[in-house]
Amino acid sequence: MSDMRVCSRCKVSKPIKEYYLNKARKDGLTLECGDCIRIRAKKWIDDNLERYKERYKIYYQKNKERYKKYYRDNRDNRRVKGGSYEWWIWWINISVFYKR
């Protein structure tokens, strides 16, 4: 049982807790490490701020109930086990960084 995985983007082997959860995938994790996803998303958002706002709205509407439930269920241990958010939770959360 390996708890390391090679990021598809930076090709660095990192512990799986560095990856986000993605239930759409068989192994349940994103292909890219958290750092790469954050960098890529940050850049994408900088380049596409208006589109991001639109998408954010759609994502939030779609996942509002899951999002609320997730927070209720994980209020106290959000970052505990290495802090793997589901990717869409994180996608919503990044908006926090951009609310200035």
Q: What is the tally of helices (H) and strands (E) in the chain?
A: 3, 4
Question: Closest distance between Zn ion and the C-beta of residue 16, in Å?
Answer: 13
The nearer residue to Zn ion, 7 or 89, going by C-beta atoms, is 7
What single-letter DSSP state applies at residue 7?
A: -
Name all contacts of 56-61 with Cβ < 8 Å and 24+ positions apart: 56/91, 56/92, 56/95, 59/88, 59/91, 59/92, 60/92
Instruction: Name the residue nearer to Zn ion (CB basis): 11 or 75.
Output: 11
CA within 13 Å, CB half, 33:
17
- Would you say 19 or 88 has its CB closer to Zn ion? 19
Question: In the beta sheet, which residues pair with residue 29?
Answer: 21
CB of 22 to Zn ion, least distance (A): 14
Q: Which is nearer to Zn ion, 67 or 85 (CB)?
A: 85
* Smallest distance, Zn ion to C-beta of residue 83, A: 16
Residue nearest to Zn ion (CB): 7
Question: What residues make contact with Zn ion under the rule CB under 5 A?
Answer: 7, 9-10, 33, 36
Shortest distance (Å) from residue 6 CB to Zn ion: 9
